Amino acid sequence: MRIPRRSFLGLLASAAASTSLRRAQATPPDSPTPANDPLRPEFHLMPQHNWMNDPNGPIFWKGNYHLFYQLNPHAAVWGDMHWGHAISTDMIHWRHEPIALAPTPGGPDSEGCFSGSAVVDQGSPTFIYTGVQNAAPQDVTLHDAANKLRETQLLAIAEDDNLLRWKKLPQPVIAAPPAGMNVTGFRDPCPWREADGWYLAVGSGERGKGGCALLYRSQDLRHWEYLHPLAQGQPTGSTAADPVDSGDMWECPDFFEVDGRHCLLYSTERKVYWTTGDYDRRTHRFTPTRQGILDYGAYYAPKSFLAPDGRRILWGWIPETRPQAEYAAAGWAGCMSLPRVLGVNAEDQLTMRVAAEAEKLRGTPMRGTLKGGAQNLPLDLLHQEVALNLAPHTQSATLRLLVDKKPAWELLLDWRSGTGRCADRSFPLPARAAAPAQVRLYLDASVLEAFIGDTDAITTRCYTLRPSHIALEVTLDAAGSGAWTQCPLAAISPDRLTA
């Protein structure tokens, strides 16, 4: 929770980020306002002001989607975590609601309401989340340079059908990690229901042994029995001071079944891993068969939920990658990714595509063809979706956003060498076996969510784009060809405050 962990916000830039639980300075008066800042996204959900990080407790209840998220209501830097709340009928257009969870002075969440999940228990939406408080050294589970905190798992029950009021249980439902474990952390509970009761994965790990997700069982969400690790990582050999950086602490485990397979997501080493595999419902052991990286860029701590139509929808946090001084002055930091529909393909890979609801934002499309060499597409908008359909024989494609004719952002895809590159990040490109490739880009001011087929994604931030000065240049190898489609995407609110 201290500086280096949050400074992966600088994973694509050199952010000298500094975070602590202390409250930060308010935005200086001469800063741009969120409503007139051209770098602020217009169709990605985010609070009207200040800092957000992880999505928390997504749930569909009585006709509405509810999304909660880590919020610092005082400043655009991490600290004093609350749960913000937004409500929607389509997962795209949102209304901001009052804060759902705030720290209770003197309570087990007095220093912050950390991430968690929502389930329906006996007809009542219920949160299970991690509370943090200052504690005696023997009870501390989160220790780094800036923080010495005890993490416990807490319950809160909705008191109304709009999920505006929540009643907390005063005592933790899990007060300490399993006896004998010297944990690197103990947080971000993920519950699910099986025929014989509730199960819960909690993010944790041990120094030098790798991260893990600890598995618990309960009949009533209130009394929990520890079983064993649901999944266990490997020692990474890294000696980074922060166990999240060294891979010895897994944050935000998310465990679910999709397309008849089980999937575990977790966040560590500044990355989000997916693992598909077999879950034995008798022994409650998860045996991974395949692993990958969910998004190669600025994307962290995702959380999924089951939509009423059976789709498994994933939300992720898109952090800032510029220096803290800049985002603190801007008065806003972080946004939610677009909703991604998850699946598992025949090769056991996690697949994702942006939910069809996002198509509602589309304006009139433009279309054209692509041939070998460089060409400029007439796309000077800061908020748009671009799809390239590349013919099977296309070997390479480079997408370049130019600002006043100079490259500001670049995505290189080379299927010959099997590598992709974007903003100094390299990643493997799967073999395409003579199949066409689709590349889809969602550009929203400083946010770029890019998808290559349905298995690879890279989300990046670019803070130099300016309206009416940009162009998209696409370069294919000499023999390459394909087609492009572009659609302007509408803002989700009239005042640019995203609700």
- Residue from 68, 69, 114, 305 binding ligand FRU (CB under 6 A): 114
Tokens coding 460: 């990046």
Least separation in angstroms between CB 76 and ligand FRU: 14
Token pair, residue 403, equals: 């600002």
Q: Which of 42, 245, 251, 269 binds ligand FRU (CB under 6 A)?
A: 251
Q: Which of 18, 88, 130, 276 binds ligand FRU (CB under 6 A)?
A: 130
Task: State in angstroms the smallest separation of the CB of 6 from ligand FRU.
Answer: 8
- Counting contacts by CB under 6 A, is residue 117 touching ligand FRU? no
Interface with ligand FRU includes 187 (CB under 6 A)? yes
Interacting positions 190-219 with ligand FRU (CB under 6 A): none
- Positive or negative, the CA dihedral 62, 67, 71, 74 is negative
Closest CB to ligand FRU among residues 114, 279: 114
Q: Binding to ligand FRU by residue 70, rule CB under 6 A?
A: yes
CB of 57 to ligand FRU, least distance (A): 12
Separation of first and last alpha carbons in the chain = 29
Whose Cβ is closer to ligand FRU: residue 19's or residue 384's? 19
Q: Which of 252, 272, 338, 344 binds ligand FRU (CB under 6 A)?
A: 252
- Structure-block tokens of residue 450: 């890019």
Of residues 210 and 480, the one with the C-beta less far from ligand FRU = 210
The minimum distance between CB 5 and ligand FRU, in angstroms, equals: 7
Closest to ligand FRU by CB, 266 vs 484, is 266
Tokens found for residue 221: 């969400």
Cα separation, 30 vs 314, in Å, equals 37
115 interacts with ligand FRU by CB under 6 A: yes
> Shortest gap between Cβ of 41 and ligand FRU (angstroms)?
19
Count of residues touching ligand FRU (by CB under 6 A): 13
Q: Does 246 bind ligand FRU (CB under 6 A)?
A: no
**269's tokens:** 């080493």
In the chain, the amino acid numbered 196 is D
What are the CA-CA distances from residue 60 to residues 64, 70, 160, 200, 454 (Å)? 6, 19, 14, 20, 25
Least distance (Å) between residue 128 CB and ligand FRU: 12
Give 447's strand partners.
444, 461
Q: Do 386 and 441 meet the contact criterion of CB atoms below 8 Å apart?
A: yes
- Within 10 angstroms of residue 417's Cβ, the number of other Cβ atoms is 10
Cβ neighbours for 346, distance < 8 A, ≥ 6 positions apart: none
- Least separation, in Å, of the C-beta of 187 and ligand FRU? 5
State the sign of the Cα–Cα–Cα–Cα dihedral 54, 213, 100, 43: positive
Q: Are 438 and 450 in contact (CB under 8 A)?
A: no
Of 188 and 456, nearer to ligand FRU (C-beta) is 188
The footprint of ligand FRU on residues 2-61 (CB under 6 A) is: 53-54
Instruction: Name which of 74 and 432 has its Cβ closer to ligand FRU.
Output: 74
The CA distance from 405 to 401, in Å, is 9
d(CA 459, CA 450) in angstroms, rounded, equals 6
Catalytic residue flag (residue 54): yes
Binding ligand FRU by CB under 6 A: which of 81, 155, 156, 458?
81
Neighbours of 81 (CB within 10 A): 31
Give the nearer residue to ligand FRU in terms of CB position, either 202 or 258: 202
Under 8 Å between Cβ of 279 and 225: no
Residue 301 as a binder of ligand FRU (CB under 6 A): the answer is: yes
DSSP conformation letters of 362-405: B---EEEEEEEEEEEE----SEEEEEEEE-TT--EEEEEEEETT
Options 30, 54, 278, 454, the catalytic residue: 54
Residues that bind ligand FRU (CB under 6 A): 53-54, 70, 81, 114-115, 130, 187-188, 251-252, 300-301
Q: Report the catalytic residues.
A: 54
